[in-house]
Structure 1
């Protein structure tokens, strides 16, 4: 029995694949905005504190951009909270929505 070596997988993402998830981005934006407002910070002050552009923070809050891990850590530090405080509501919403999808099957 002859076994031919398989070709190595191609590096990178498959064509058309994306890591942006609108549902997750919007949930994170909602959590970020709620935390920022609760602390009494403006977007401008948070931008100065984190060293990020105010327009980028605005895109995060509106769910148009999805943060990297480094951005999440910087924002949490700027808001004087744990990164888990920003991620927990997103995770809860994500699980609730996906559990509902599986129940329908």
Structure 2
């Protein structure tokens, strides 16, 4: 795992919890597999910019908020 993936994953998890959205709901709304959301939040995978923007849209925030 690299530091950037871990940071982005933790920010996504933080924003998801602030929005009171489950991983299942985030996955459904962003059209991403639920297990992949878990891997993103744990920093196990590098996501594409497209997925970052889709997640940010669901979380109603700017994608830049999810970046360091």
The two structures have a TM-score, normalised by structure 1, of 0.62
Asked if residue 25 in structure 1 is aligned to residue 5 in structure 2, the reply is yes
**Structure 1: how far apart are the matches of 2:63 and 2:8?**
11
Structure 2 spans left out of the alignment, 5+ residues: none
The two structures have a TM-score, normalised by structure 2, of 0.94
Give 1:46 deviation, angstroms: 0.3
Asked if residue 49 in structure 1 is aligned to residue 49 in structure 2, the reply is no
User: Which one has more relative contact order, counting CA pairs under 8 Å at least 6 apart?
Assistant: 2
User: 1:77 is matched with which residue: 39, 57, 62?
Assistant: 57
Structure 1 spans left out of the alignment, 5+ residues: 1-20, 92-105
The number of aligned residues is: 68
Give 1:66 deviation, angstroms: 1.1
C-alpha RMSD over aligned residues = 1.0
